[in-house]
A and B are shown apart, each in its own frame.
Chain A
Amino acid sequence: MAKERIPNEGDEMQIDGGVCEERVARAIPEGFNPDYLKIYYGKLFPYADMFKWLSYGNDGKHPACDHSYFGRREFSFTLENDIYIRFQSFGSAKEMENSIKEKCPFKIDIGPVYSVDPAKRHAYAQGGNNVFAPVERELVFDIDMSDYDDVRYCCSGADVCLECWPLMTIAIKVIDTALRDDFGFNHILWVYSGRRGVHCWVCDSKARRLNNEHRAAVTDYFHVYKGGENSLKKVTLAGPVLYPFLARSYTDVLKSFFEEKLLRSQNLLASEERCQKILGFIPDESVAAELLDKWQGNRRSSISKEDVNVVRWDQLKHMLQSGKQKIQGLRRCVEEIVFSYTYPRLDMEVSKHMNHLLKAPFCVHPKTGRVCVPIDPNNCEDFDPTTVPTLSHLLEEINEGSMMMESNNEWERSSLGKSIEFFRSSFLQPLLKSCKEEMESAYSAKIKQSKNSLSW
């Protein structure tokens, strides 16, 4: 998504030659409240697009369409006062729209498609045969910035800024490439989570049909950063060479982001404490001590204009990767450090189970007021979480818009328009085209087969 300058409260602005004060008085205070949300659901939330997406072509007129499909999808709502209701299902787009407008949920989660309508699940539980079970579910990933708190010094916890956001950019690039090149998936939607992370929805039909064992395999494939609170070494890169996926990630993404961005922006080698942390990765005490000496020496003679982090990192690489080092473990150290500081940290549990519920795109985050907008993986370096449309800004835009001219589609007038446009053209249209093709070929194969069985 291209950067957009969204007018901030307090900015001086001229509108139609109007006076600043007037503008400020009409400004909608930042934040989030049910009234704003109601307007958002009333005018901006893209019901039709969501319905089209989650129907995967079953909403059409083709004889192969399964009209029960959308109705078997579980949604869950988190209402005001933290009331949580599960197993919501809707027979049509209109039903979904009415329910959301009426209940005004603070958060909407999307669950799996079940074998039967979730609302009727109790009727099927008697059989004891577990007839109520998930049958399809997108392959999903959740990456949260707070999992990186030990390697970012600019913010911590819920905060996110442009210095640490590159960690998310890295995650998107690494995972997206692997999903496409290694696993052969094509219909992938990346979404900003609204505060400090990103979600990934893999929507190929093959992906939706993966069982838990398959999901675990994919998740484990991505699992490189391991270990709980107490293990010191969370990345172990064994073997004389790296596995292709790891080698590619390192060469194409991790190394450059680490050396060109994070090293500087996070000042990873600027203080003694941070230096010690990195030196901790080196299994050879004498080498670590030698480096520390060198760096402490450098501190005094910092005539060089070069960034101290870069200088020190170069010295470290030189020492560990030079021909002198016989122990393989030392050469691998450099990669292990880079991986530890940059490699994507996934929430494994989210991806492994078919019945996990994940927040829907285009929700509004209650704590930040920001909309969960799609991210273009091909341009993810340009994504700026601090300029994502917020609820109040969108409403301002609507207000301005309705003063200026009438429009059928409110969102076209708003910054949300670009996001929805992107969602449709980059994701939804190719997906639906593919669904249609699949449906048609499956159908004609079936027809052909039944014709064959008739002939004798």
Chain B
Amino acid sequence: MEIVRSQRKPSIDASPTPTLSLYRSAPPLEVRLEDFELYAIDRLRVLKGISDGLARGKKPEEMENLVRELWKTNMRHQDPAEVMNKDIISHFVLRLVYCRTEELRKWFLSMETTLFRYRFRLESLESQRMLMTEFQLPYKALIHAEYETVKDKLVQVARSIGQSSNTDTIFFKVPFEEVPDLVGSRRVFILKGFAYVPMNQVVSLVVTQFRSNISKALVLTNRKWTSTIKEQEKDRLTPIVEALSNSYLGPDYTQPNESAEISLKDIDQLASNSFPLCMRHLFDKLREDHHLKHGGRIQLNLFLKGVGLKLDDALAFWKEEFSKKVGAERFDKEYAYSIRHNYGKEGKRTDYTPFACQKIISSTPSVGDHHGCPYRHFSEENLRAALNKMGVGGRQQDEVMDKVRNRHYQLACTLTFEAIHGTSCDTGINHPNQYFSNSQKIRQEKIQATT
């Protein structure tokens, strides 16, 4: 099936919106392995940006702008002919990535549908009509003569549902079976078995169709993945696919820049000023109990590394605490190794990257553990207490708790950040080290402003 649309003739109207794909079938193109991953990552940035926008409750006009920006920023290609290919290829790669569990499918479906909705809205009317034909939706635009005969009733219906009727609105004549919800709620005019649907409602219908198609496709893709692809591609595509679904897309903080070095004597101050709640909690517990279990040690240690704590200082720090409980010798024997290991100085010398929020949120702390994401893993009571300690109370605390209830843990952390620092953080918090460096930046700026 032809899915790559032919280039439109350049029109006088200079809107450079590209044509949309319906992703009906995987393209018979050759893809370089690097592009396979890179295109997917770019598209993932777009989808995650959309996810973020939705979670923040952006209004439709804001979402429309956001989608336009995200698409422009991430999905460009030097070769204009490649733009469409990138769109299609990246979609199909992500299908492989996100078909594998119910939760992944749900997220992907939701984001792709939203992406499609706003991209459709940004298309010209002509382009939209062409897409509707491609969907094989039996919608015919109303010709003027017929419009005149039903105009009064169309206005009446619009008024009856409290909408203003815009005389410029295009109407489509559709068999009433196509729009059962609109008919059932008496929100559309019907005559002799046809519904007269205004343009803005048509968008919903097209999107519903798109969603339904992708939903079915994802289930099929999953079947194919499990039965053949995964095994077939285990040395080539499978590792890429598996990594992509967990990918964090910001800086990885493995190499802290030099100016971000911190020294031990400042660490307590830094902890109370600039550590995100997860790390602050671990830090406080370490100071309190002089011990942390494995999960906590790794999470905190890698964070500290990302923050700029040198290995020698790190060893000194942990030793200072642990000795109070287990003694210096035992520390050297049993714990020092793993700290060095985190810094890539032992074993296979992998310089481990500090954990991003996603990873921390999905961890599973159990009895005696203090790692994980407090917004997720703490009880309401404990979380409120912790927020109070951080200096977040009253209405701000309630707003944070509201986000928590809706399972937007990173947003909760962002709100905490904003409450403490008194500024907004538009990019949202995706990484504890990001929280730290943002916080430090703001404090530096404040200090500079006052000197």
Binding site for B on A (CB under 8 A): 181-185, 206, 210, 213-214, 216-221, 238-247
Contact partner of A221 (CB less than 8 A), chosen from B153, B156, B183, B193, is B183
A sample of 10 inter-chain contacts (CB < 8 A) reads: A183-B190, A184-B194, A217-B180, A239-B159, A239-B160, A239-B162, A240-B162, A242-B160, A244-B153, A245-B186
Residues of B near A238 (CB, < 8 A) are 162
* Interface status of B184 (Cβ within 8 A of chain A): yes
- B185's nearest neighbour on chain A, judged by CB, is A220
B192 pairs with A220, CB closer than 8 A: no
The CA-CA distance from A239 to B413 in the complex, in Å, is: 43
What's the minimum C-beta distance from B161 to chain A, rounded to whole angstroms? 6
Contact partner of B184 (CB less than 8 A), chosen from A181, A182, A185, A221, is A221
The CA-CA distance from A218 to B193 in the complex, in Å, is: 11
Most chain B CB atoms below 10 A, which of A181, A182, A210: A182
What's the minimum C-beta distance from B160 to chain A, rounded to whole angstroms? 4
- B163's nearest neighbour on chain A, judged by CB, is A239
Residues of A near B322 (CB, < 8 A) are none
Residues of A near B161 (CB, < 8 A) are 239, 243
- A214's nearest neighbour on chain B, judged by CB, is B177
Known contacts A217-B181, A243-B156, then 14 further A-B pairs from the complex at CB < 8 Å, ordered by chain A residue:
A183-B176, A185-B193, A216-B184, A217-B176, A220-B185, A221-B183, A221-B184, A241-B160, A243-B160, A243-B186, A244-B160, A244-B189, A246-B186, A247-B156
Number of interface residues of B (CB under 8 A): 21
The CA-CA distance from A219 to B183 in the complex, in Å, is: 10
A184 pairs with B192, CB closer than 8 A: yes
What 0/1 pattern do residues 185 to 203 of B give for CB contact below 8 A with A?
1100111111000000000
B186 pairs with A221, CB closer than 8 A: yes
Residues of A near B184 (CB, < 8 A) are 216-221
Most chain B CB atoms below 10 A, which of A181, A184, A216, A243: A243
10 closest Cβ pairs, A-B complex: A184-B193, A220-B184, A217-B180, A184-B192, A217-B184, A239-B160, A243-B160, A217-B183, A243-B186, A241-B159
What's the minimum C-beta distance from A159 to chain B, rounded to whole angstroms? 34
The CA-CA distance from A150 to B160 in the complex, in Å, is: 29
A213 pairs with B156, CB closer than 8 A: no
B180 pairs with A214, CB closer than 8 A: yes
A181 pairs with B192, CB closer than 8 A: yes
A240 pairs with B157, CB closer than 8 A: no
A213 pairs with B186, CB closer than 8 A: no
The CA-CA distance from A185 to B177 in the complex, in Å, is: 13
The CA-CA distance from A285 to B192 in the complex, in Å, is: 43
The CA-CA distance from A241 to B153 in the complex, in Å, is: 11
Give the residues from 329 to 346 in chain B that come closer than 8 angstroms, CB to CB, to chain A. Answer: none
Residues of B near A217 (CB, < 8 A) are 176-177, 180-181, 183-184
B180 pairs with A182, CB closer than 8 A: no
Residues of B near A240 (CB, < 8 A) are 159-160, 162
Contact partner of B180 (CB less than 8 A), chosen from A185, A213, A242, A246, is A213
Residues of A near B180 (CB, < 8 A) are 213-214, 216-217
Residues of B near A218 (CB, < 8 A) are 183-184
A210 pairs with B177, CB closer than 8 A: yes
What 0/1 pattern do residues 82 to 113 of B give for CB contact below 8 A with A?
00000000000000000000000000000000
A244 pairs with B157, CB closer than 8 A: yes
- A211's nearest neighbour on chain B, judged by CB, is B177
Most chain A CB atoms below 10 A, which of B153, B157, B189, B190: B190
A182 pairs with B190, CB closer than 8 A: yes
A243 pairs with B157, CB closer than 8 A: yes
The CA-CA distance from A90 to B43 in the complex, in Å, is: 60
What's the minimum C-beta distance from B204 to chain A, rounded to whole angstroms? 15
What's the minimum C-beta distance from A258 to chain B, rounded to whole angstroms? 21
- A178's nearest neighbour on chain B, judged by CB, is B190
The CA-CA distance from A181 to B150 in the complex, in Å, is: 13
Most chain B CB atoms below 10 A, which of A184, A217, A238, A245: A217
What's the minimum C-beta distance from A438 to chain B, rounded to whole angstroms? 15
Residues of B near A210 (CB, < 8 A) are 177
The CA-CA distance from A240 to B153 in the complex, in Å, is: 14
The CA-CA distance from A247 to B180 in the complex, in Å, is: 21
The CA-CA distance from A285 to B363 in the complex, in Å, is: 61
The CA-CA distance from A217 to B176 in the complex, in Å, is: 9
Residues of A near B191 (CB, < 8 A) are 181-182, 184
- B179's nearest neighbour on chain A, judged by CB, is A217
The CA-CA distance from A148 to B333 in the complex, in Å, is: 87
B193 pairs with A183, CB closer than 8 A: yes
- B187's nearest neighbour on chain A, judged by CB, is A243
The CA-CA distance from A183 to B190 in the complex, in Å, is: 7
What's the minimum C-beta distance from A445 to chain B, rounded to whole angstroms? 17
The CA-CA distance from A183 to B194 in the complex, in Å, is: 7
Residues of A near B176 (CB, < 8 A) are 183, 217
The CA-CA distance from A184 to B194 in the complex, in Å, is: 8
The CA-CA distance from A397 to B192 in the complex, in Å, is: 44
Residues of B near A241 (CB, < 8 A) are 156, 159-160
Give the residues from 4 to 52 in chain B that come closer than 8 angstroms, CB to CB, to chain A. Answer: none
The CA-CA distance from A190 to B258 in the complex, in Å, is: 87
What's the minimum C-beta distance from B17 to chain A, rounded to whole angstroms? 34
Residues of B near A220 (CB, < 8 A) are 183-185
Residues of B near A245 (CB, < 8 A) are 186
